[in-house]
Structure 1
Amino acid sequence: MTSSIESVVYLGLAALLWGATNPFIKKGSEGLQYVKASSPCRQLAKEVVFLVTTLKYIIPFVINQCGSVLYFLALQSADLSLAVPVSNSLTFVFTAISGWFLGEEKSDRKTVSAGGHATIVGASHGNCAAVRRGPPRSAAV
């Protein structure tokens, strides 16, 4: 696997991990609005303790951070102008799909489907163009 293909795979996996865990993180943080304290510092401390001690939050959060590690690895060899839109748009698609499986409020199916298809076509086009271009040439000193 070349570094370009490897970075594309890492970007896709990062987007999958981010998108698949976003709805679970949202569900795991339910109840945070009821945590109250007398000062802003104590409020922050209580909220952090609440989140860290809630397994329904912390497990998806750790998996989500594994996606961030993959993203970091991908950025070492990926074209930044390709990496950011590909990962963000695919994250949106994967978040919509996993939210749909969890029974979250559904968006218009045609709109999400059209957006998903356009994202996949655009990301594929960008990936193919980047792979054909090859690695950037270094400037001669």
Structure 2
Amino acid sequence: MEKMIAVGIVWGATNAIMRRGALLWDEALKSSAKPHPHSTLCQKMRISVGNWAKLLSIWQYSIPFLINLSASATFFAILSDAPLSLAVPVTNATTFAATAVFGILLGERTHLPRAFFDKRIQHYSVHREVSEQEWNHQERDK
């Protein structure tokens, strides 16, 4: 379970940081060429590939993105040893909570009461799922 929580924290932290990088990308796109309505498909594709290259050249996006992908690979490795019904809720709840916390640490405005309420619901759901998994495991051992 510790690995699932660690993956969720990494995903949450990188989500918040990538959001900042995406905002920088949006600013850069405002000053870049936009496809003309009568552009050819080749021209539209060239502009699109250029926009993606611009996104990946922004280190505030690309470095957290690579770290996020590493956490995804770790998550798939975890799935080989853990039940999906436990891994997904634990990791998702941790990711949502970590995204909110890291967003606050990065100075984003957050609706704290709503975020807290959402996290309590997720915590309850995860707790219920973990308890059910433990109960099923104990029943099988009898």
TM-score, normalised to structure 1, is 0.76
Q: Which has the higher helix share?
A: 2
Q: Report if the CA contact (8 A) 1:37-1:46 is conserved.
A: no
User: Which of 12, 32, 53 matches 1:19?
Assistant: 12
- Identity among equivalent positions (%) equals 28
Is 1:118 aligned to residue 121 of structure 2? Answer: yes
What does residue 33 of structure 2 align with?
36
**Partner letter of residue 50 of structure 2?**
K
Q: Which runs of 5+ in 2 are unaligned?
A: 36-42
Deviations 1:67-112 (A, max 9, x none): 10121011112222222222222211111111111111221x2222
Please give the root-mean-square deviation of Cα atoms over the aligned residues, in Å: 2.1
Q: 1:46, CA displacement in angstroms?
A: 0.9
Query: Who wins on radius of gyration, i.e. which is larger?
Result: 2
Residue identity in the other structure for 1:118: I
- Structure 2 distance, partners of 1:36, 1:30, is 18
Matched, 1:9 2:9: no
Which residue identity is paired with 1:59?
I
Which of the residues 107, 112, 118 maps onto 1:103? 107
Cα separation, partners in 2 of 1:97 and 1:41, compared to 1, 3 Å = same
Q: Find the aligned partners of 2:62 and 2:134 in 1 and give their Cα distance.
A: 36
What amino acid maps onto 1:36 in structure 2? Answer: A
Does structure 1 retain, via aligned residues, the 8 Å contact 2:85–2:129? Answer: no
